[in-house]
Structure 1
């Protein structure tokens, strides 16, 4: 991927170095947020796994989304935390390429999973009688596999384009991870054709999946408004509210960063916005789903109740053994 023309062997993730007095508080805030993200997403995955009434397509997709978002944060946040504590913020080209590949692959996977979730809600509302046939476990699994394959295929294409460039000027990345724009601005031979290719690939993931979600909800709304019962309309909309909230949060931040024109003056603004979709969005998603979903709340209480009972039993057993 990196040819002989590359003269820069390492990058410097300058990110938060512009705020030396804030690095301690930032570390504490991001570390606490990361632990909360891991605990919340793991709790959701365990609750769905152990609760038989949650073994439905909607929760299957939610479990897949929680796993993918957990992996997404692991691609960026541990390195961010290490850089906040370290004076050396260097990252090699292979490490930078690997981080970009996994971050954008998992990010694309999140987009496609949310698109699959919107199709699931449309099918459940528009064809309730045929829903068990149209959304079998096998079909849901194929949706998930397609999401992973598409996400990482697009990410691989972007990563190959970026790291086939010649980096022969500054090696300072004005970001806390290897994002596309701060990296390509260091290249000597970045052309409008490559810029257009990256934009089209990014738009395919973000705009393409978002248009699919919007179309699904247009059909959902047209179906719901025809329902004679007000209670039925409320129930139908309530099943979509959590997903719609997460979609607005995710696409609002991501679209602002990746689908608008770039210049060097926008890097700091993009970096601050990146904190929201790498830390805040994965933190809000499980909270939104758990707070707005009674079935999930019940399942989480059962799981937490079981864990609270198991811990004293394990402690007592160890005490007796000793």
Structure 2
């Protein structure tokens, strides 16, 4: 076997090991998240709650609270991480995340508008669809602003996203001040949390999450080529504008569905792609699955840790990810400056 073949085999094995370690870590953390908290359970309790559900408080907590919460956290973490990796290619900015599209701000604005109009009669299911509509609307506006004729301009995308995000946030703040009855509900949702989410909330947006991840995976090789530069990509036969449009659609589906299910959880889409690149490299055929696994790991771990900070009260997971994300952002920015 030649040195090149041996090197390629070693790299492939390293990537497989990295993915496998992430999968095992996710399984361990998910199990711990189901069993641990203000009330601790054993494996037997979890098994009995599904083998022979008796309607007891323990079984209700496990089946209707803990398990759905873990599934929502894992799904949202995966989607945000994959969306972040795609966004960093779209914008040519290693510090980009789904919030660049203004998705968080758009979803928050529509939710607050819904609370102002309907108040306490607004159900969680309705809130999810309203948030998704807001995320989609703002993202489409940002993308339209970033187009120049038939050409897509990544710099304009970043500027348009920042502008729309600031505009939506200011309108949101004004509505909350005007209608203080919606303050508590709006603030809890805007921080980002997987607490209180039920399985039907995840099932409502799961098709959009699946389509978004599938589309991103289908575009993984095209994203590798686009990283070489637009001119090189066109020279290799890539339809760059179409790839960017489909990539933007994947981000909207992933981030929009995630924000609508759990609120605007920040920094997952920034942290995970950087960690995965250091682990398995920049090939998006491997990077995107790695982001999906470790995004789920990060958010499940953050949610688990957030339960014990102010026990018996729980800290919203959005605060936990922000505490991790801010120093990471500073570190990444400084490293980029020195490169």
Q: Which range, TM-score by smaller chain?
A: 0.3 to 0.5
Report the TM-score, using the length of structure 2 for normalisation: 0.35
Indicate the structure (1 or 2) with the bigger Cα radius of gyration: 1
What TM-score comes out, normalization by structure 1 length?
Answer: 0.36
